[in-house]
Amino acid sequence: MKRRARRGSSLFGLGIANSLIPVVSAFVIGAIIIAVVGENPWTTYQFMLGQTLFDASGFVKTLHYATPLILTGLAIAVTFKANIFNMGVEGQVLSGAFAAGVVGFTLKGLPAPVHITVCLLVAIAVGMLVALVPAVLKAYFGVNEIVVTLMLNYAIVEILRVLAQTVFRDPTSGYVSTPSVAPSATFTRLFGTSLTLFTPLALVVFVAMYVLFKRSRLGYEITAMGINPGFAEASGMDVRRKIMTIMLISGALSGLAGAGFMLSEKFKYTLDFSGNPGLGWDGMLVALLGGHDPVGIVVAAVLYAALKTGADSISIFSDVPKEITGVIQGLIILLLSIRYFTRTSVVARRRAPTRKSSEEPVRAAQS
Using CB under 8 A, which residues numbered 78 to 137 contact another protein?
A: 85, 87, 133, 137
**Residue span binding another protein (CB under 8 A) among the ranges 60-68, 109-117, 119-127, 339-347:** 339-347
Q: At what angle do helices 294-317 and 198-215 cross, to 10 degrees?
A: 140
User: Smaller CB distance to another protein: residue 106 or 165?
Assistant: 165
Judged by CB under 8 A, the number of residues near another protein is 95
CA–CA separation, 291 vs 212, rounded Å?
A: 16
Q: At what angle do helices 279-289 and 89-106 cross, to 10 degrees?
A: 130
CB contact at 8 A, 326 and 341: no
Binder among 211, 271, 272, 317 for another protein (CB under 8 A): 211
Taking the complex as a whole, the smallest distance from the CB of residue 12 to another protein amounts, in Å, to: 15
Our finding on whether 204 is near another protein (CB under 8 A) is no
Binder among 9, 172, 345, 354 for another protein (CB under 8 A): 345
Which burial class, exposed, middle or buried, applies to 292 when counting CB atoms under 10 A from its CB (0-12, 13-18, 19+)?
A: buried
By rule CB under 8 A, what string of x and - marks binding of each residue 255-284 to another protein? ---------------------xx---x--x
**Residue span binding another protein (CB under 8 A) among the ranges 40-48, 99-107, 138-146, 292-300:** 138-146
Helix (H) or strand (E) holding 47: helix 41-53
Our finding on whether 220 is near another protein (CB under 8 A) is yes
Taking the complex as a whole, the smallest distance from the CB of residue 72 to another protein amounts, in Å, to: 15
CA–CA separation, 284 vs 239, rounded Å?
A: 23
Residue 196 pairs in a beta bridge with 189
* CB atoms closer than 10 angstroms to residue 238: 14
Q: Which of 67, 85, 28, 29 is nearest to 284 (CA)?
A: 85
Binder among 40, 223, 313, 318 for another protein (CB under 8 A): 223
